[in-house]
């Protein structure tokens, strides 16, 4: 494997981790914002409708951040597939995090069969 190809793979890996961390940091900060809005309303002793639109906006933002995180995780998985298909050693490219095995689609309900009592 040529050094220029390994360096290119390392550069991709080097950019991927900060991207994942930034999204996680944004999710954490958004959660803190939502908490502060709710706690602030309670401390002020005002009706639940006060600030309600802001909470709706903040939770919509959380949903968007979570979706962005999902896409970034998928991107990471896809890049790992490309890396493996090209024969790169994960340690040589700087991607050595242990991943959970792909269990298929997530975030969906699954049918659970139970025996009748």
Q: Kindly state the average pLDDT of the residues 52-62.
A: 97
Q: Which residues contact 99 (CB under 8 A, 6 or more apart)?
A: 77, 80
Question: What is the DSSP code string of 51-97?
Answer: THHHHHHHHHHHHHHHHHHHHHHHHHHHHHHHHHHTT--HHHHT---
The ranges assigned to domains in the chain are 3-93
- pLDDT tens digits for 91-105? 888 776 666 665 555
Check: pTM over 0.85? Answer yes or no. no
Check residue 105 and give its pLDDT.
58
90 pLDDT higher than 90: no
- pLDDT tens digits for 1-51? 678 888 998 899 899 999 999 999 999 999 999 999 999 999 999 999 999
């Amino acid at each position: 494997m040529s050094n220029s190809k390994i360096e290119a793979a390392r550069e991709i890996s080097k950019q991927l981790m900060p991207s994942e961390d930034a999204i996680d940091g944004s999710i954490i900060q958004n959660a803190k914002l939502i908490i502060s809005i709710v706690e602030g309303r309670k401390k002020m002793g005002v009706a639940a409708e006060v600030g309600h639109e802001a909470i709706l906006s903040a939770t919509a933002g959380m949903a968007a951040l979570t979706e962005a995180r999902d896409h970034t995780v998928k991107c990471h998985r896809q890049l790992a597939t490309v890396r493996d298909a090209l024969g790169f050693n994960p340690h040589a490219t700087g991607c050595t995090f242990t991943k959970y095995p792909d269990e298929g689609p997530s975030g969906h309900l699954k049918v659970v069969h139970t025996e009748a009592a």
